[in-house]
């Protein structure tokens, strides 16, 4: 019988990493510069391992083969898990980079494209994001690298905890002094456009192929609906994923969706999740997967959660419209 699944984080050393992940994940190595934890993954470069219940020790791809649509849902493709959830600790600046669209990535990398969303969990001293360019063409952008002037043409913004940014494939971007939760398409393809003379491989031609200099991104406040014991905020969405925030105080009853799995990450507080045959504690920075066939369950406590899943766009938009009707 399926139950809410917890996972062991997967850790990746990065030259731009910091020390925040060691504070939120007990298993994070303290003797390495860890930049990423993959908190729910089923990719060639990393697969999550179940950490709770009877299936502890099994991998997520084993579970998908074993339970198929009972786990992931009737409308989710069993051949390619759709989502990847990470926490990034960018103490130092990442490369100036861009991700490809699906068609380009499938043709050139045998991978999905990469649209993602960033939720700012914590910040260091001078948090900033670079999102898009300042009215510059692709040719001008390429020349700015040769002249070491690219940073003059990038759109830099300061940010704070609790903000969310939608990063569409094709949007040039980077970050510094932030800890973010990232929900994205299940892809590990990044094209570095500029890397601050750190000697890593660049992918300028591929980056130019996919960059859209007209793209921008802004903080998404979302739309909030208040219920008796919780608030539900629809932050951002597209065909690839929906990102939502729940603030729970007390007991709230839920029911799984037989067409699609759900992911919760606790970003503040603690509580429990329980059903007829399961009872699990929920602590800050736990990530849990709700099987499509789980049925009814209850979340109790004083906590904030980020919810992500692959939506049916028509159903989601109808739900949002219903919630704003008076």
Question: Which 3 state secondary structure label does DSSP give 314?
Answer: helix
Bridge partners, residue 12, by sequence: 36
The Cα 77–Cα 196 span in angstroms is: 39
In angstroms, the Cα distances linking 316 to 27, 40, 296 are 36, 23, 20
How many Å from the N-terminal Cα to the C-terminal Cα in the chain?
41
DSSP per position, 36-51 = EEEEE-EETTEE-EE-
The Cα 36–Cα 39 span in angstroms is: 9
Q: Report residue 67: phi and psi, to 5°.
A: -110, -15
**Placement of tokens 């948090």 in the chain:** 127
**281 in Cβ contact with 195 (< 8 Å):** no
DSSP per position, 56-81 = TT-BHHHHHHHHTHHHH-TTS-TTS-
The Cα 227–Cα 260 span in angstroms is: 24
From start to end of the chain, where are the E strands?
5-8, 10-18, 34-40, 42-43, 46-47, 49-50, 83-90, 96-98, 116-133, 154-158, 164-167, 173-185, 191-194, 223-226, 230-237, 242-255, 262-275, 278-282, 287-290, 296-309
In angstroms, the Cα distances linking 65 to 111, 173, 256, 294 are 20, 36, 20, 17
The Cα 34–Cα 64 span in angstroms is: 29
Residue 192 among the catalytic residues: yes
Q: Catalogue the active-site residues.
A: 192
């Amino acid at each position: 019988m399926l139950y809410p699944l917890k996972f062991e984080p997967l850790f990746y050393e990065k030259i731009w990493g910091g020390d925040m992940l060691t504070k939120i994940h007990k298993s994070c190595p303290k003797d390495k510069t860890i930049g990423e934890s993959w908190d729910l993954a089923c990719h060639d470069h990393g697969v999550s391992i179940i950490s709770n219940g009877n299936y502890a020790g099994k991998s997520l791809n084993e579970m998908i083969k074993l339970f198929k649509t009972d786990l992931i849902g009737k409308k989710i493709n069993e051949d390619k898990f759709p989502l990847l959830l990470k926490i990034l600790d960018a103490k130092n600046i990442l490369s100036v980079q861009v991700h490809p669209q699906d068609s380009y990535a499938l043709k050139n990398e045998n991978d999905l494209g990469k649209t993602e969303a960033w939720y700012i969990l914590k910040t260091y001293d001078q948090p900033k994001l670079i999102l898009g360019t300042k009215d510059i063409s692709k040719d001008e952008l390429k020349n700015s690298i040769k002249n070491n002037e690219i940073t003059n043409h990038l759109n830099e913004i300061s940010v704070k905890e609790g903000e969310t940014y939608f990063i569409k494939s094709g949007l040039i971007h980077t970050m510094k002094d932030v800890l973010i939760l990232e929900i994205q398409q299940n892809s590990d393809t990044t094209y570095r456009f500029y890397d601050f003379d750190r000697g890593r491989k660049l992918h300028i031609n591929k980056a130019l192929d996919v960059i859209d200099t007209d793209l921008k991104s802004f903080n998404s406040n979302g739309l909030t609906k208040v219920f008796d014991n919780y608030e539900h905020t629809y932050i951002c969405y597209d065909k690839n994923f929906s990102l939502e925030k729940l603030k729970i105080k007390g007991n709230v009853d839920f029911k799984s969706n037989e067409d699609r799995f759900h992911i919760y990450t606790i970003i503040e507080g603690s509580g429990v999740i329980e059903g007829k045959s399961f009872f699990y504690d929920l602590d800050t920075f736990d990530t849990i997967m709700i099987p499509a066939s789980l049925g009814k369950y209850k979340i109790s406590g004083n906590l904030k959660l980020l919810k992500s899943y692959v939506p049916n766009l028509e159903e989601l938009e109808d739900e949002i419209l219903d919630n704003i009707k008076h």
